[in-house]
Amino acid sequence: MATFGNLSDRLAETFKNLRTKGKLSAADVDGTVREIRRALLDADVALEVVKDFTGKVRERALGDEVSKALNPAQQVVQIVNDELITILGGQQRRLEFAKKPPTIIMLAGLQGAGKTTLAGKLAKWLAKDGHTPLLVAADLQRPNAVTQLEVVARQAGVAVYAPEPGNGVGDPVKVARDGVKYALQKVHDVVIVDTAGRLGVDAELMKQAANIRKAIDPDEVLFVIDAMIGQDAVATAKAFQDGVDFTGVVLTKLDGDARGGAALSVASLTGRPIMFASTGEGLDDFEPFHPDRMAGRILDLGDILTLIEQAQGAFDEDEARKVAEKFATDTFTLDDFLGQMQQLRNMGSIKKMMSMLPGAGAMKAQLENFDEREIVRTEAIIQSMTKLERTTPKLLNGSRRLRIAKGSGSSVTEVNQLVQRFEQAAKMMKTVAKGGMPNIPGMGPIPGAGYGGKPKVAQKKKGSKSGNPAKRAADNAAIASGIKPVGDTASADAAGSGFGLGLGSGAQPGKGKAGGPTEEEMAALQKMLGR
């Protein structure tokens, strides 16, 4: 989440300095709060919000919950997390649907905030839940706004109502009113009305938006705000709240590299919850806003719940069960590997998914250097193989690999690396499927973990290594006869015989102590030597 990247880095550095302290003094708390204040102000968070936030953090940090904590630094992080959740709205707020359809949702905001694209994202998200949304093109002012909405609706696979060409032609209030009637006739249970915006707040914009609201009486009015707008976000939000009023906020362009902290102030200053967040240009880059999860991302604590939800939406449960069975029975093929890669791509950006992991801030450089097109290149290599080669990778000799490399526009080295990765993945997942713990390269074995099977014990090569030819022959003959060979000259006593029958300290011949030979072994040896 690039918008809050700098804020995350600053806060992480602040908490890092706390971890070396076993007990926090008032000076330590004041220093930490001062750094948090600077980080929030640098991120463009409104001054009023910063004062309230840091005041509550300081009050709680100096209280008993920190002084009596086993780990004061972690307790301070928890306090900051709690207060961040509060300024982000506290609880998640869901859409409220009308008891009698259609549910009418009106979008409002400045021009360039991303209302039209958001209308398509919201419609597609609702369609996945079984709704039948209708997009209404009531933005008749911006050039080609109607055409853009029609294109977005087609991409999202939803219906659109656009009776007017736009570009300054038509009455937006009438279009909005007629759009609701059209939805009733065509049995659409949700109506999303895209309204016009301006480059800045003006009386004409507010009058038109207020007239549309009065005409259609929407169940939800969503204020769409650009997360990169800066300090002007607060003034704009208050102007729309006074002129039109809104029931919820949608943050767009959270994938940008601006400071974006002003967007965090909107919920706190307007008293209206942030309901959705747009995290990219694609129609699937859209998600419900969870204050607790967003706070976790900002503090680099991860967002595992959202990651799981995305995985559940992209992966088919029956298919996953079949793949697990293939892992267990060692029948996993490159075709299955390709299917898993494609499902992974359907989850969205790999970088975004990795950024949801706890501690992802420490991997920022690696994430930035990751090439999303690697999956496409992998698909090309596998698709250049024959059906037999995919099911039996052992057939891939040098000439076949050269043909595959030419067919996929890659090198033989890349083909070799893919096959190697596939074999490692199949081996690791087979171990996991059998209840073991894979030995991940570079990490070493995990203490106490099983590895899906008994380790192979290397058997020592049998045979004497003595430098004395006569003794070597005697030892080898004794081994062949099933008799334990006697010690070699290296362990012999200074007074031992030439055959290395060392008696050891305090050992007596024939007693079998201290590693010496027993009477039976001595008799067998005498017999073998012909004595």
Is 109 labeled as ligand-binding?
Answer: yes
Check the annotation: does 197 bind a ligand: yes
Same domain, 57 and 124: no
pLDDT at 221 over 90: yes
Whether residue 348 is annotated as binding a ligand: the answer is no
Q: Residue 361 annotated as binding?
A: no
pLDDT above 90 for 148 = yes
Ligand-binding annotation for 232, yes or no, is: no
Pick from 434, 449, 481: which residue ends a domain? 434
Whether residue 247 lies inside any domain: the answer is yes
379 within a domain of the structure (yes/no): yes
- Point out the least confidently predicted range of 20-34, 405-419, 453-467: 453-467
> Tell me, what amino acid is at 296?
G
Is 498 annotated as ligand-binding?
Answer: no
Binning pLDDT at 50, 70 and 90, where does residue 7 land? Answer: confident
What pLDDT shows up at residue 60?
86
Tokens of 525: 């040896």
How many whole angstroms separate alpha carbon 265 and alpha carbon 270? 8
Q: pLDDT tens-digit profile of 387-401?
A: 898 888 888 898 999
Please report the pLDDT score of residue 72 as a whole number: 74
Per-residue pLDDT of 95-128, as tens digits, reads 999 999 999 999 998 888 889 999 999 999 999 9
Dihedral sign (CA 12, 17, 23, 25): negative
Please tell me the predicted confidence (pLDDT) of residue 511.
Answer: 43
**Would you say the C-alpha torsion 497, 501, 502, 508 has a positive or negative sign?**
negative
pTM of the predicted model over 0.85: no
| Domain membership of residue 41 as a residue range | 4-88
CATH of the domain at 145: 3.40.50.300
What average pLDDT score do residues 414-425 get? 86
Please determine, for residue 171, whether its predicted confidence score (pLDDT) is greater than 70. Answer: yes
Decide if 522 contacts 510 (C-beta within 8 A). Answer: yes
The last residue of one of the domains, among 408, 434, 460, is 434
Ligand-binding annotation for 214, yes or no, is no
Give percent above pLDDT 90 in the chain.
Answer: 23
Q: Parallel, antiparallel, or unpaired: how do β-strands 274-278 and 286-288 relate?
A: antiparallel
111: annotated binding-site residue?
Answer: yes
- The reply to whether 56 sits in an annotated binding site is no
Q: Is the residue at 364 inside a domain?
A: no
* Same structural domain, 84 and 116: no
How far apart (Å, rounded) are the C-alpha atoms in residues 237 and 269? 9
152/61: higher pLDDT: 152
Buried b (16+ CB within 10 A) or exposed e, 499-513: bbbbbeeebeeeeee
Q: What integer pLDDT is reported at residue 301 of this predicted model?
A: 66
| 195 marked ligand binding residue | yes
Q: Which of 60, 88, 116 is the last residue of a domain?
A: 88
Largest CA distance in the chain: 123
Does 113 count as an annotated binding residue?
A: yes
CA distance 155 to 286: 15
Model pLDDT for residues 467-526, shown as the tens digit of each residue: 566 666 666 666 665 555 554 444 444 343 333 334 344 444 444 444 455 666 566 655
Cα separation of 196 and 204, whole Å? 11
Residue 115 annotated as binding? Answer: yes
Q: Which range, of 41-45, 148-152, 523-527, averages the lowest pLDDT?
A: 523-527
Does 3 show up as a binding residue in the annotation?
A: no
Residue corresponding to tokens 């900051």: 80
Got the DSSP string for 202-259?
-HHHHHHHHHHHHHH--SEEEEEEETTSTTHHHHHHHHHHHHT--SEEEEE-TTSSS-
Known binding residue 253? Answer is yes
Give the model's pLDDT for residue 479: 65
Domain count for the chain, please give it.
3
List Cα–Cα distances, 413 to 34, 404, 409, 410, in angstroms.
53, 11, 12, 8
Predicted local distance difference test score (pLDDT) of residue 103? 95
pLDDT of res. 120: 95
Are residues 81 and 129 located together in one domain of the fold? Answer: no
Determine how many CB atoms are found less than 10 A away from the CB of residue 451: 14
d(C-alpha 89, C-alpha 49), whole Å: 12
Q: What is the pLDDT of residue 521?
A: 58
Query: Does 381 fall in a domain?
Result: yes
Per-residue confidence (pLDDT) for residue 107, from 0 to 100? 94
Looking at the predicted structure, is the pLDDT value of residue 212 above 90? yes
CA atoms within 13 A on the CB side of 107: 33
Q: Tell me: is residue 420 an annotated ligand-binding position.
A: no
194 annotated ligand-binding residue: yes
- Consult the annotation and say whether 406 binds a ligand: no
